[in-house]
Structure 1
Amino acid sequence: MRRLLRNIFLGLFIVLVAGPILAVLVFRFVPPPVTPLMVIRAVEGKGLDHRWRSIDDVAPALPRALIAAEDARFCEHHGFDFGALQKAYANNEAGKKIRGGSTISQQTAKNVFLWPGRSYVRKGLEAWFTVLIEIGWGKKRIMEVYLNSIEFGPGIYGAETAAQRYFGVGADKLTQAQASRLAAILPSPLKWKVIKPGKYVAGRSKKIGRASGTVRREGMAGCVA
C-alpha cells in the first residue's frame, strides 16, 4: 500500500509540478510547434497554417491593439487582473452579455498548454501555468508566444499567418487599422470576419484603434517594446 501511495504521489508530482515546470522552461527558448487547439481544429477539418515570427519582427501596432482589446493592464498585473474578473462577474450576474475576465497571460497559458473548456480542473491548471509563465517567461515572451498562437480564423494561427492571409503583407508591415481589425475578431475568430466585416466588428475595430492610441501615448505596452 505504501508503495502504491508513493507511486501515486510521484505520478501526481510529475504531472502537476515537474512536467509543467519543464514545459515552461523549454518553451522559454523554443517556439511551441503546435497547440492543443490547433490539433483539435485540424482534426475537425479546419486546416492548420502556423508560421512563427519573433516579436521583434512584428509591427508594434499589433501588440498595442491586443493590449487595448484584451488586457489594458497587461504590463502592470502579475498574470491576473482581479478588477477585470470582478467586473466580468458582475456583468454576467446582471444577465448582460457574457464577458470574460481572462488576461493575455491566462489566454497564453490556455492556448499553449491546455485544451478548450470551462471545467474547474482546466481553470485550475490554467492558473498554475499562468503563474509559471509569468515567473519563467516575463511579459515580452508571453506576448511573443501569444502573438504566435492566437487563432485568427479557420486554420489560421499567429500574427504572420494572419497578416499574409488577410492583407498580403508580413506581420512587420501591419498598419494600425489592420492590427485593430485582427484584434477585433478575437472573441469569435471562427464567426467574425477580418475582411468585409459586419457592422459590429467594424465598429469594434475603430474603437480598438482609438484605444490603441491611448496605449501608445501612455506607454501601456512598454513591457513588450
Structure 2
Amino acid sequence: MNRLLFILFVFIGLACTDKTASEIMNDQPERDTDQAENDESAFSYLALGDSYTIGESVSEDQRFPVQLVQGLRNEGFDVKPAKIVARTGWTTDELAAAIKNENLDESYNLVTLLIGVNNQYRGRSADEYRSEFKELLQTTIDFAGSQTQNVIVISIPDYGVTPFGKSRDPEKIAKEIDAFNTINSEETQQANARYVDITAISREALNDEKLVAGDGLHPSGEMYRRWVDKILPEATEILESQK
C-alpha cells in the first residue's frame, strides 16, 4: 500500500510540473543572484524583443542579452543581470502592451530593441510596422534616460535560411525581412540611436547547421555569440561614456 501511495505522489508531482509550450513562453527569466544584482553602482541593461531576445530553444546562459552582459563583465564593467522583456511570438504592438504591464525602472544605462519578425510572419504591413516601431523606439529611448546613443537597435534576422523557413518561400521571407530592416534602420538613424545589423550573420545558417537551435527555426547559442561579437563594441562605448 505504501508503495502504491509513493508511486501516486510521484505521478501527481510530475503532472503538476508539466507545462505546455505557451506556458513556458510566459515565464520570465530568473534573475541572477550574483553580487551585481543588488549593487546600486552597477550598470543596468534592459533588453526588449521577442523570441530572439528571450532565446527560444537555447539555455538561459546562451541568450544574447546574457552573453552580452558576460562580455561586458569580461571588459571590466560591473553590470547587473539583464532585465529581459520578451516573449516568443510577440509583434510590435504586443511588446508595447507588455512593457506597460512590467514593473520597470525609470531608466537604464543600456537598452536594446529587436522586434519585427512576427509582424512579417503574420503578414502585417510595412506601414503598420513603421508606425508601431517608431513608437517603440521612442519608448526605448525614454528607458535610456532620453539618451539616444545609449540605445542599440538590432536588425531582424532572416529565418528563411533555417530548415523551418526553407519550406515557406525563403526568397519572399528575405525580401520582406530586408524591407522591415530598411524601416527600422531609417527610424533608428532618424532618432540618432545606434544600429547593429546582424542579418548577414543570420544568413550564414544556410550552410552551417550549428547556427540553428534544435527546433530548426531559432538561433543557436553559437549564433547568438556571433551577434554579441558585433553588439559588444557598441555596448562597451555606451558604458564607457557613463563611467
TM-score, normalised with respect to structure 1: 0.25
User: Per chain length, whose mean CA-contact separation is higher, i.e. which structure has more relative contact order (CA < 8 Å, sep 6+)?
Assistant: 1
Quick check: which one's helix share is greater?
1
**In terms of Rg, which structure is larger?**
2
